[in-house]
């Protein structure tokens, strides 16, 4: 074997614990970020209904009345990456005979007119043929959906005739009545087209199940001439801009419909959550690398002496560099491979447990999408930085003068300064962990959404805390030593012998102790910060539960019963104050429920504010929920444009922000609004007299079970309802929503647990190396009559000291972080989050810190127990 192989391999093989913990430290960090990338990608892929790649129509907008040049307006809006005008209608398709005249089967299909930009947006993919070209004097061109082309036996180059369908005019809602719209102008005239290609059954090619004709927008306009032609635009969003932000910019001139399937994970709260998961992953990787660098730092003196010996024996610096590099490469490569494997296993386990990057859901079970484009760079970044962190200081150490090292002196002792190797190592550690690692991490796994001030602020705050905790013990060891000495002094009083030993060990190695405590503090601070965040979410949820849920009873699947007689009956029995029929609703641009104003005036907001009831009835207007107000940044007095089937875009004024009316939990949605049912009926022709779902506002003191029983009796006596009619208790909904927060944050708990293990590994490594360094001293103490229990107590005292100091520091830092995190999250997520105040659960952080630190002391103790005192004395 060559020199590098001999020395590097021997070092790895004969120090299995150090090798194992070095590999594990990096590997666990890498595993966390790999698992996050896999879980996140799987979550998003799974949530997209069609799992379509490249489907980039994020929003559909319709211009408000008075907008003359919508294309120019859209082009000027920041965050609109591309757009195409869309005209939709129906058309008939027919082949041609030998004379070029329409012949054969007629097929009716959806006609879509698009601009050429649709191809750039990835909306259309061709199975065969070419994109739409200019007519150039010849026949205009058409793309066919695959099923349609296959059924009619058509392919590229074929000639076809298209015509508007000769059918009954469409029915529209006009002033609350369904009215037949007679098309104006001449009857349908067939136009000859040439088939330029056939679409894949993906993206827009799936519309109308592929029974689809796509032509240029001008050709569509000509074809549909004389018909009602609602013009709309499909937009592709700049991915750095959150959908809500774009929507805010659009809402002045357009009615907006989020194409939800294409932008799963992009809602503000989802973005905040996913970014939180990513930042937690970065923390774990940083911690893993820090632990390893710290371990290497402590073994630096030994390694530097080895290098000096090799130098004395004639080894060149190049040879020494190769030894160092070989060893680091093996550790980093193994850590990368193990980390990748562990990460994939962890991701699989998390997905099987229903843990997604958007919270806990059963939907991701059985799914597994590995984003190799993110995973490979992440692993390489981890491996690369581990390699740099391992090699740089040791290469620097080889620059140390061999002479003092051979004498067993610190190379900088003569000048009164710390060794160049140790100092450069500390600087390298700080730069790598706080600067290089985050940069590499965010290149491989960027933050989701727009780079908002609050998000950047949060990232910088996190990095600042990281730098503070890591940098302080490494770069200003003097004050840390003084602090360590004064804090460790009371240990002497705890136990005369063990306390003395522990205090002395801490005083002599303040940097080691402080670095271990810093790792523990980092995790504790993250724990407290996270618990603060979840407490705030829980508090916000609780406020909403009290206002919007408690005191109500939901009735489902009534089968469309007239709700007013039921309301009168229950009110007559003194069981309810009001009834909210929840079926007159639409979902563009958000859920809007039409509620009867007279009914609402019996209790709650409208009972308190009769002026609001009057205004709701008189003009299209909304009362919006707090969540909707936060997410859409809407205030009282704002106008919300809502597209109607026949009246164009109608502005609705926001009259109030309140959660007391209109909540429906199937499906659960807290961002909603309600309007007077009269307007919903008039503008959208929604059924308002009958309802399938009701929310009963209970009379004070009414037993919900008694109300349910009375409702059942009413329905049974009148032969209404169905076997499926069911009830939703407020207490059940409240419990579900409370538990939902806990479930959603399981992914953070998993990451924190792994980070805690890493911090524990750091404590373990520090104590282990210290124990090995002190083997001779401990051997002497054993020889002088100290029993193992006394020495064990000293180690446990030291590990407990690290846990207490780290835990307390982390608690204090975490308490400072919570208000900042909550404030930033309030902006980032669009949630109306309150500051949580002091929570008892925070104390669990320091308790866990103490526990993991004491656990970290057990392995060094075990190793010390196996050390022969005679050998220790002789070989120290």
Interaction site with another protein (CB under 8 A): 1-3, 6-7, 10-11, 13-15, 302, 305-306, 308-317, 319, 401-403, 406-408, 414-415, 871, 874-875
Structure tokens at 177: 């009545």
| Residue among 105 and 868 whose Cβ is closer to another protein | 868
Shortest approach of another protein to residue 6 CB, angstroms?
Answer: 5
Exposure letters 444-465 (e unless 16+ CB within 10 A, then b): bbebbbbebebbeebbeebbeb
Shortest approach of another protein to residue 9 CB, angstroms?
Answer: 9
Structure tokens at 769: 């190396």
Shortest approach of another protein to residue 873 CB, angstroms?
Answer: 12
Shortest approach of another protein to residue 409 CB, angstroms?
Answer: 11
Dist CA 118 CA 109 (whole Å): 20
Shortest approach of another protein to residue 322 CB, angstroms?
Answer: 11
| Residues 602, 578 contacting (CB under 8 angstroms) | yes
| Residues 125, 200 contacting (CB under 8 angstroms) | yes
> Is residue 720 helix, strand or coil?
coil
| Residues 89, 160 contacting (CB under 8 angstroms) | no
Shortest approach of another protein to residue 329 CB, angstroms?
Answer: 17
| Residue among 199 and 310 whose Cβ is closer to another protein | 310
Q: Alpha helices of 437-509 — where are they, by DSSP H?
A: 437-444, 453-475, 477-494, 498-508
Nearest to 70 by CA among 238, 225, 234, 223: 234
Shortest approach of another protein to residue 321 CB, angstroms?
Answer: 13
Shortest approach of another protein to residue 3 CB, angstroms?
Answer: 4
| Residue among 76 and 313 whose Cβ is closer to another protein | 313
Phi, psi of 125 (to 5 degrees): -130, 140
Nearest to 198 by CA among 133, 125, 93: 125
Dist CA 848 CA 846 (whole Å): 5
Shortest approach of another protein to residue 14 CB, angstroms?
Answer: 4
Nearest to 711 by CA among 578, 573, 568, 566: 566
Instruction: List Cβ neighbours of 105 (8 Å cut-off, separation of 6 or more).
Output: 94, 95, 152
| Residue among 180 and 309 whose Cβ is closer to another protein | 309
Partner residues linked to 561 by β-bridges: 691
| Residues 555, 841 contacting (CB under 8 angstroms) | no
| Residue among 668 and 871 whose Cβ is closer to another protein | 871
| Residue among 310 and 355 whose Cβ is closer to another protein | 310
Q: DSSP strand E in 507-608: where?
A: 552-556, 561-562, 576-581, 585-586, 591-595
| Residue among 11 and 808 whose Cβ is closer to another protein | 11
Shortest approach of another protein to residue 412 CB, angstroms?
Answer: 12
| Residue among 302 and 489 whose Cβ is closer to another protein | 302
Dist CA 470 CA 428 (whole Å): 12
Shortest approach of another protein to residue 775 CB, angstroms?
Answer: 9
Shortest approach of another protein to residue 410 CB, angstroms?
Answer: 15
| Residues 308, 402 contacting (CB under 8 angstroms) | yes
Dist CA 277 CA 415 (whole Å): 47
| Residue among 264 and 873 whose Cβ is closer to another protein | 873
Shortest approach of another protein to residue 513 CB, angstroms?
Answer: 25
Cis link prior to 846 (omega < 30° from 0)?
Answer: no
| Residues 207, 104 contacting (CB under 8 angstroms) | no
Strands 141-145 and 212-216: antiparallel
| Residue among 408 and 789 whose Cβ is closer to another protein | 408
Shortest approach of another protein to residue 26 CB, angstroms?
Answer: 21
Q: Which helix (H) or strand (E) holds 11?
A: helix 3-14
| Residue among 200 and 306 whose Cβ is closer to another protein | 306
| Residue among 9 and 119 whose Cβ is closer to another protein | 9
| Residue among 396 and 632 whose Cβ is closer to another protein | 396
Q: DSSP strand E in 155-231: where?
A: 159-163, 171-174, 177-180, 191-199, 212-216
| Residue among 405 and 488 whose Cβ is closer to another protein | 405
Strands 355-356 and 359-360: antiparallel
Dist CA 769 CA 786 (whole Å): 21
| Residues 664, 695 contacting (CB under 8 angstroms) | yes
């Amino acid at each position: 074997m060559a020199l590098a192989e001999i020395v590097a391999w021997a070092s790895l093989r004969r120090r299995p614990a150090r090798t194992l913990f070095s590999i594990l430290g990096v590997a666990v960090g890498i595993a966390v970020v790999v698992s996050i990338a896999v879980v996140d990608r799987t979550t998003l892929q799974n949530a997209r209904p069609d799992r379509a790649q490249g489907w980039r129509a994020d929003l559909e907008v319709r211009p408000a009345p008075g907008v003359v040049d919508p294309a120019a307006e859209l082009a000027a809006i920041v965050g609109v990456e591309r757009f195409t005008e869309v005209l939709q209608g129906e058309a008939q398709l027919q082949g041609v005979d030998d004379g070029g005249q329409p012949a054969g089967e007629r097929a009716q299909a959806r006609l879509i007119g698009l601009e050429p930009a649709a191809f750039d947006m990835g909306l259309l993919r061709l199975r065969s043929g070419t994109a739409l070209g200019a007519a150039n004097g010849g026949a205009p061109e058409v793309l066919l959906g695959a099923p349609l082309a296959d059924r009619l036996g058509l392919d590229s180059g074929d000639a076809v005739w298209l015509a508007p369908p000769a059918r009954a005019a469409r029915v529209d809602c006009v002033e609350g009545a369904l009215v037949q719209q007679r098309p104006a102008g001449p009857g349908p005239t067939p136009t000859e087209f040439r088939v330029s290609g056939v679409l894949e059954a993906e993206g827009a090619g799936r519309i109308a199940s592929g029974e689809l004709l796509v032509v240029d927008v001008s050709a569509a306009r000509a074809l549909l001439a004389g018909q009602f032609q609602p013009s709309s635009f499909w937009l592709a969003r700049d991915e750095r801009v959150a959908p809500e932000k774009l929507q805010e910019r659009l809402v002045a001139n357009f009615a907006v419909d989020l194409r939800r399937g294409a932008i799963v994970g992009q809602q503000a709260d989802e973005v905040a959550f996913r970014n939180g998961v990513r930042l937690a992953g970065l923390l774990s990787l940083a911690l893993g690398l820090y632990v390893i660098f710290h371990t290497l730092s402590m073994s630096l003196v030994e390694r530097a002496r080895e290098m000096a010996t090799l130098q004395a024996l004639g080894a060149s610096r190049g040879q020494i560099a190769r030894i160092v590099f070989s060893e680091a490469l093996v550790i980093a490569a193994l850590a990368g491979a193990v980390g990748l494997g562990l990460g994939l296993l962890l991701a699989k386990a998390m997905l099987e447990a229903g843990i997604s990057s958007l919270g806990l859901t059963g939907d991701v079970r059985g799914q597994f999408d590995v984003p190799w484009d993110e995973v490979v760079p992440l692993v390489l970044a981890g491996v690369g930085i581990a390699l740099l962190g391992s090699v740089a200081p040791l290469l620097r150490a080889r620059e140390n003068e061999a002479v003092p090292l051979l004498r067993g002196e610190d190379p900088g002792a003569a000048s009164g300064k710390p060794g160049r190797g140790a100092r450069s190592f500390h600087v390298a550690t700080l730069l790598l962990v706080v600067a290089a690692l985050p940069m590499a991490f965010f290149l491989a796994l960027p933050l989701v959404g727009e780079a908002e001030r609050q998000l950047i602020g949060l990232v910088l705050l996190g990095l600042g805390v990281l730098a503070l905790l890591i940098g302080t013990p490494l770069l200003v060891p003097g004050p840390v030593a003084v602090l360590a000495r004064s804090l460790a002094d009371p240990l002497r009083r705890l136990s005369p012998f063990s306390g003395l030993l522990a205090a002395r060990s801490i005083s002599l190695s303040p940097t080691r102790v402080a670095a271990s405590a810093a790792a523990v503090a980092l995790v504790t601070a993250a724990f407290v910060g996270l618990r603060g965040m979840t407490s705030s979410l829980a508090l916000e949820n609780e406020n909403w539960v009290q206002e919007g849920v408690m005191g109500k009873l939901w009735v489902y699947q009534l089968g469309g019963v007239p709700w007013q007689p039921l309301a009168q009956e229950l009110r007559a029995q003194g069981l309810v104050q009001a009834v909210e029929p929840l079926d007159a609703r639409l979902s563009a641009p958000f859920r809007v429920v039409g509620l009867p104003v007279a009914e609402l005036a019996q209790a709650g907001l409208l009972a308190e504010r009769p002026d609001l009831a009057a205004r709701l009835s008189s003009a299209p207007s909304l009362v919006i929920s707090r969540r909707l107000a936060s997410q859409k940044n809407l205030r009282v007095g704002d106008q919300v444009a809502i597209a109607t089937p026949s009246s164009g875009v109608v502005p609705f004024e926001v009259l109030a922000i309140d959660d007391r009316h209109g909540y429906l939990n199937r499906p659960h949605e807290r961002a909603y609004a309600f309007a007077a049912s009269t307007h919903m009926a008039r503008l959208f022709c929604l059924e308002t007299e009958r309802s399938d779902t009701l929310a009963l506002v209970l009379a004070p003191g009414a037993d919900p079970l008694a109300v349910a029983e009375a409702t059942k009796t009413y329905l049974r006596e009148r032969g209404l309802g169905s076997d499926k009619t069911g009830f939703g208790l407020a207490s059940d909904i409240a419990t579900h929503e409370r538990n939902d927060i806990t479930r959603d944050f399981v992914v953070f708990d998993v990451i924190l647990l792994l980070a805690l293990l890493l911090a524990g590994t750091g404590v373990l490594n520090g104590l282990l190396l210290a124990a090995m360094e002190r083997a001779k001293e401990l051997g002497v103490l054993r020889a002088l009559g100290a029993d193992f229990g006394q020495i064990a107590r000293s180690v446990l005292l030291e590990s407990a000291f690290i846990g207490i100091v780290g835990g307390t520091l982390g608690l204090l830092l975490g308490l400072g972080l919570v208000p900042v995190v909550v404030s930033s999250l309030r902006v980032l997520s669009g949630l109306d989050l309150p500051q949580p105040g002091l929570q008892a659960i925070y104390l669990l952080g320091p308790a866990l810190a103490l526990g993991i630190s004491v656990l970290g002391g057990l392995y060094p103790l075990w190793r010390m127990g196996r050390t022969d005192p005679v050998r220790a004395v002789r070989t120290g």
